[in-house]
Chains A and B, each alone.
Chain A
Amino acid sequence: MGKPMSRSLLFLCCALAAGMVELQSAKGAITEIVKSTGTFTAPISIEVFSDFQCPSCKALYEGTLRPLEDDYVATGKVYLVHRDFPLTMHAHAHEAACYACAAGRIGKYEAACSVLFKQQGVWSVDGKVGDTVCSVLSPSEAKLVRQWATDPQITASIEHDIQLGHTAKVHQTPTMVITYKDQHYPVSGAVNYDLLRRFLDQLLSK
């Protein structure tokens, strides 16, 4: 009588654990979808590890990622994933990442990124991260985003990105990890778009 009971209990525990793991990975996948652009099956994937308070990340976002999205992501050649890698030296970077992810839940991730980088010089000084992100949202959206910004799930998704960064040996921001045919090419700094374009074309012509 005791044996079948303990077996059932063990089975129940395993099922619960499996369920939790699945739920966790599903959450990770959802966060990734929110923070990614392009076709998943694109030949090249680029993961961008960045920090909203880092000036080089702003330069990369405005000078390189914008044209990259137009020329390569929109045409199905590149799958672009944003990864949060807030550095501890930047006081408001983690909060900014939380707000951007929260905005992502209502499909406003890009808008949040754009305004955070555009106004980087302002909120980095006054610390009004929430106000900056909410300036591009409707009042009802802003209310939700302010609530979600402190959600433990959002923090967990950022921690997940940081862990991925550590695994990919990211030690500075911005760092792009370009993947093509299982080959990974890490590139740090505010990369010149023309050089990046040449590199991507070289990969695609292989």
Chain B
Amino acid sequence: MRRWLLLVLRAVLAVVFLYAAYSKLRQPWLLFAMAIDAYRILPQWAVMTLARALPWCELALGILLLTGFWLRQVALTASLLLVVFFGVMLRSYAKGLEIDCACFGLGEALSVKTLLRDGVLVMSSVALTVLAFREARYAPTQI
């Protein structure tokens, strides 16, 4: 049962990360940079670096989750990333910023719906991380 849950969570999160990467990489990176900048958190040099790097990181995470390599480390990284995203989105929503969520490309406003979706993703990723570490404790050679 735990194995199946691990597999399902891995697959779901892998698809989410792969789709997030695809939706960002298919459009000019400067559009994504503008969306990140709208959050008003980072200086411009950091915005531009993040806009170039983040889609590739998401792609790598998606592939690694799908293949299952270094699962504990990858699941932990995905959880940290999603927690940061969720925190930033929550902060912006609380400040009343009317901006794009930019989670899956452009054209989706930051809203309660996007926050709920990200919250579910955070919980799934944390669950995956916990399961991956537990699995490693019980059967270290298989992870």
Contacts and interface: CB of A to CB of B under 8 A. Distances in A.
Task: Give the interface centre of B35, B98, B99 by most chain A CB atoms within 10 Å.
Answer: B98
B107 interface: yes
Interface in B90-114: 97-100, 106-107, 109
Contact of A187 (B47, B48, B106, B109): B106
Interface stretch (A17-25, A104-112, A139-147, A189-197): A189-197
Contact of B28 (A186, A188, A190, A199): A199
Interface in A158-206: 169, 171-173, 185-192, 194-196, 198-199, 202
Contacts of A191: 34, 37-38
B31 A187 contact: yes
Interface string B21-38: 000000110110111011
Interface residues on A, range: 20 to 34
Contacts of B100: 172, 188-189
Nearest to B39: A189
B106 A186 contact: yes
Contacts of B28: 185, 199, 202
A171 B109 CA distance: 7
Interface string B41-75: 00010011000000000000000000000000000
Contacts of A56: 97-99
A199 B109 contact: no
Given A190-B38, A191-B37, A202 B98 contact: no
A192 B98 contact: no
Interface of A: 54, 56, 169, 171-173, 185-192, 194-196, 198-199, 202
Interface of B: 27-28, 30-31, 33-35, 37-38, 44, 47-48, 97-100, 106-107, 109
14 contacts: A54-B98, A169-B107, A171-B107, A185-B106, A187-B31, A189-B38, A189-B99, A192-B37, A192-B44, A195-B33, A195-B34, A195-B47, A195-B48, A199-B31
